[in-house]
A and B are shown apart, each in its own frame.
Chain A
Amino acid sequence: KAGVTQTPRYLIKTRGQQVTLSCSPISGHRSVSWYQQTPGQGLQFLFEYFSETQRNKGNFPGRFSGRQFSNSRSEMNVSTLELGDSALYLCASSSAGSHMNEQFFGPGTRLTVL
């Protein structure tokens, strides 16, 4: 089975721009979660999508948004980028039927905001 894929792997943007990141989950997984990882704050939960609906949300401003398509692929959008948005953005997929909801992570997208 192919793992979680994320595109692009690296991205450089300037302040004020917007960015869209993409995540393809493991085949058959219907839940996709997004995380932001920075050296200072660690791994922080952004949101989770299940069957095209946002099921959980972390404590991030409205500039961060996401969506999920019918094939479970997910996109995350950040508008009006700030320097502090520079981070590794990780996507994780899981099988909704899993008792423990084990999450399988992709390699991440490294976003640099200049």
Chain B
Amino acid sequence: DVKVTQSSRYLVKRTGEKVFLECVQDMDHENMFWYRQDPGLGLRLIYFSYDVKMKEKGDIPEGYSVSREKKERFSLILESASTNQTSMYLCASSLLSTYEQYFGPGTRLTVT
């Protein structure tokens, strides 16, 4: 059974803190993605990666960075959290050939 896991389901951080969101997939997928999900806006792509140490900006990369040191792990970093980054964050992975994306359960981040 395919599996994408995220390190936390709920997270509360203070403004200015550095925040790490971790995602791990066990399907040997090449592609990994970070989205944020906001009511009425659907999913918006923050960053994605096609290979280890590779990263590409998505539609809304400002205020975020990513790290992919191992194929199965893709981290999203908020260098200095702000209240407008309060959101649900979803990680996904896919094979290079099929593009069907498998999603993790999400991390609901609240920045106060």
Query: Are A and B co-members of a single complex?
Result: no
Residues of chain A having any CB pair with chain B under 8 Å: none
